[in-house]
Amino acid sequence: MDKKDYLRRLSSVNDLMQAVYRSRSLGSRSVPRELIAEASRAVLEGVREAILAARDELSLENITTDTEELVSLVEKEVEKRIRPGLRRVVNATGVVIHTNLGRSPLSRPAIEALQATAAHYSNLEFRLEDGTRGSRQHHLRKILCELTGAESALVVNNNAAAVLLALTTHARDREVIVSRGQLIEIGGSFRLPDVMAQSGARLVEVGTTNKTYLEDYRRAIGEETAMILRAHPSNYRILGFTAEVSASDLVSLAHEHGLIFLEDLGSGVYVDLTRHGLSPEPTIADSLKEGADLVCFSGDKLLGGPQSGIVLGKKDLVEAMARHPLARALRVDKLTIAALEATLLLYLDPERALSEIPTLAMLTADAETLRKRARRLAGKLASACPHLAVEVQEDVSRAGGGSLPLEDIPTWVVAVTSQSLKVPALEESLRRADPPVIARIRENRLILDMRTVSDDEVPLVVEAFRAAGGEMETEQGA
Ligand SMILES: *Cc1c(COP(=O)(O)O)cnc(C)c1O
């Protein structure tokens, strides 16, 4: 039989659409007719191309022209088109604060607060005590000051916004001194010199990449100086022959000259993670104790809340920032406030924070839990997908999000290879699963790190491999 016969056998767009409507699975869900038409056209076009590209009789025979099968392809195509672009994924990379995968998943209480605030009206800017207008910042200021002892607090959209607002409010058209060892770029295009330029402040670099001394700062102070900024080198470390000036020395110097000392902490750690075997990160409390006038950090890094930028510090300085016109443009949404407040409330009991805030729970998960999870996944994979070779191994995870950049956190992984599919193809089909599973490749194995996969997600990973196996069969068949 030649290709023309195959092409002739294909139904028309109209007939295929009629068949889709008869099958009722889509028609009854009020999918727009135009969408079904587009999907039908796309499916028929795909089949037509496959027929024309077929090299021999055997591959022709494997192309379906059966209307019932085409209907199910149309249904899949429609599903793909009506599915939201932003989707939940399973993070099997072991990078806990993975910026590309949405940084911190929220805790149960934060999700509940978010839902209640999203679905209903709230006292966002309304004082329930006397029925007058209130401030949306009030809800967060209260708990932030209580937790940290700071005089005042302000929350904006992210930490980049917090740094920008601090510089614009307090150092516009004036100079800000920064060590050359701290001119950071954080993933997602936060470059300190560029933020500085946007704020209208002038950057004065001091010291060298590896060494900066107190004298370097002192010599740079002049008539125009407004501020000394210390930025936490989040995602890198300068090792070896190095010198940086301590925050307390910089505070003394700044105050001697009537300057503001701003510390950009990056990832605001509230609980001491060294007790859980992680290396020391400067905590919010340390920074305030050393006397920083303003401290800012992200809400969705080690704090484990929603995307936000938190500013703590001296009352007059924070309030001037809140009054600045730019603050309105950087204002946080009520959903952020709800989720952040609920997250912060968990910190009233640090043990509860560690167990209920997913970012902290994942970072401090003990090896035995991870090993058990790895063995459970490996067992299920071996029985569900006989074509896979599965091994449980020790490995290391990363904190991510510019936190603990050098830390190798011991973990357990499942390493997978397939007899019939190359590892990059396996990685890709997991990415195409529903929900997608994101894994990494190392030494020609697919590595699934159990630190960032919850027990509930284990079946989803198995399902993704099963679907990948199915895809493999059709590929081989085609
Ligand atoms: C991550 C980071 C930022 C940017 O914070 P966002 O919340 O992503 O805007 C700024 N400074 C430092 C030191 C950081 O680590």
Q: For the range 35-39, what are the long-range contacts, defined as Cβ-Cβ under 8 Å and sequence gap of 24 or more? A: 35/78, 35/81, 35/82, 36/74, 36/78, 37/13, 38/81, 39/74, 39/77, 39/78, 39/81
Burial of 266 per CB tally in 10 Å (0-12, 13-18, 19+):
buried
Amino acid letter, 279? S
Residues 11-30, mean pLDDT to the nearest whole number: 84
Strand positions, DSSP E, 14-126: 90-91, 95-97
Average pLDDT over residues 157-183: 96
Q: Return the pLDDT at 371.
A: 98
Q: Work out the pLDDT band at 355, boundaries 50, 70, 90.
A: very high
Q: Is the pLDDT of residue 161 over 70?
A: yes
Q: Hey, which of 104, 159, 262 would you mutate to test ligand 1's pocket, going by the most ligand atoms within 8 Å of its Cβ?
A: 159
Supply the pTM of this predicted model. Answer: 0.91
Task: Please provide the average confidence, as pLDDT, over all residues in the chain.
Answer: 92
pLDDT band at 61 (very low <50, low <70, confident <90, very high): confident
Asked if residue 23 has pLDDT above 50, the reply is: yes
The CA 159 to ligand 1 mean position distance, Å, reads: 5
Amino acid symbol at 413: V
Q: What is the pLDDT of residue 46?
A: 94
For a substitution probing ligand 1, which of 198, 234, 303 has the most ligand atoms within 8 Å of its CB?
234
Q: From the alpha carbon of 300, which atom of ligand 1 is closest?
A: 7
Separation between Cα atoms, residue 96 and residue 90, nearest integer Å: 12
CA angle 255, 258, 261 (to 5 degrees): 55
Provide the Cα torsion 50, 53, 58, 63; round to 10°.
Answer: 10
Q: Are 95 and 397 in contact (CB under 8 A)?
A: yes
Model pLDDT, residue 382: 94
The CATH code of the domain at 90-99+363-477 is 3.90.1150.180
pLDDT at residue 477 tops 60: no
Ligand 1 atom closest to the Cα of residue 265 is 13
For residue 455, pLDDT over 70 is answered with yes
Q: Among 91, 115, 149, which Cα is nearest to 437's? A: 91
The proportion of the chain whose per-residue pLDDT surpasses 70, expressed as a percent, equals: 96
Please choose from 264, 308, 340 the residue to mutate so as to test ligand 1's pocket, defined by most ligand atoms within 8 A of CB.
Answer: 264
Ligand 1, atom 13, lies closest to the CA of 266
| Alpha carbon distance 399, 98 (integer Å) | 8
Q: Whose CA is nearest to atom 3 of ligand 1?
A: 266
- Asked if residue 476 has pLDDT above 50, the reply is no
What residues does ligand 1 touch, defined as CB less than 6 Å away?
158-160, 184, 186, 190, 231-232, 234, 264, 266-267, 298, 309, 402
Pocket probe mutation, ligand 1, options 190, 300, 340, max atoms within 8 Å of Cβ: 190
Ligand 1 centre distance from Cα of residue 266 (Å): 5
CA of 161 to the centre of ligand 1 (A): 9
Contact between 99 and 400 under an 8 Å Cβ cutoff? The reply is: yes
CA of 305 to the centre of ligand 1 (A): 14
Q: CATH says 106-356 is which class?
A: alpha beta
Output the CA 78–ligand 1 centroid distance in Å. 39
Q: Among 18-27, 124-133, 175-184, 349-358, which stretch is predicted with the lowest mean pLDDT? A: 18-27
Atom of ligand 1 nearest to the CA of 231: 13
Question: Could you state, in order of their start, the residue ranges of all structural domains in the chain?
Answer: 3-82, 90-99+363-477, 106-356
Atom 1 of ligand 1, nearest CA residue: 266
